[in-house]
């Protein structure tokens, strides 16, 4: 698994939030707006708390990291739908395909799929 660049993560989340705001009546949650303490336990517990309150999880599948894998499993274990974007389903790793509700290529399509699921 590759290391995920924080700027990359922040950029796609901002794009996703804009799409969600413009294209749906859904509300987005960005963990970067909540993580003020950089300690491991703080970041993980905040992320888990946010995911547990969400109706769906949107995942960038282009460069998944360890945190992404854990978040996907955490959501899946709680029956929270998971939409992965950025890759073709057949190119996704088996574990990601298994735990994902949908895998779509483009972010706008992923946003619309999330809105349809919730």
Query: pLDDT per residue over 68-84, tens digit each?
Result: 999 999 999 999 999 99
Q: Is residue 1 part of a domain?
A: no
Q: Is residue 85 part of a domain?
A: yes
Q: Which residues contact 106 (CB under 8 A, 6 or more apart)?
A: 85
pTM: 0.89
Domain of 47, in residue numbers: 6-117
Q: What is the CATH number of the domain that holds 97?
A: 3.40.50.450
CB 98 within 8 A of CB 75: no
The total number of structural domains in the chain stands at 1
pLDDT in tens, 45-59: 999 999 999 999 999
């Amino acid at each position: 698994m590759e290391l995920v660049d924080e700027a990359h993560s922040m950029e796609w989340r901002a794009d996703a939030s804009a799409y969600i705001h413009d294209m749906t009546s859904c509300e987005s949650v960005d963990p970067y707006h909540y993580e003020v303490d950089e300690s491991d336990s703080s970041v993980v517990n905040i992320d888990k708390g946010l995911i547990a309150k969400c109706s769906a999880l949107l995942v960038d599948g282009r460069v998944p990291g360890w945190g992404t894998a854990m978040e996907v499993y955490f959501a899946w274990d709680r029956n929270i739908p998971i939409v992965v974007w950025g890759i073709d389903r057949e190119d996704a790793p088996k574990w990601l395909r298994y735990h994902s509700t949908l895998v779509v290529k483009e972010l706008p399509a992923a946003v619309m799929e999330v809105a349809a699921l919730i």
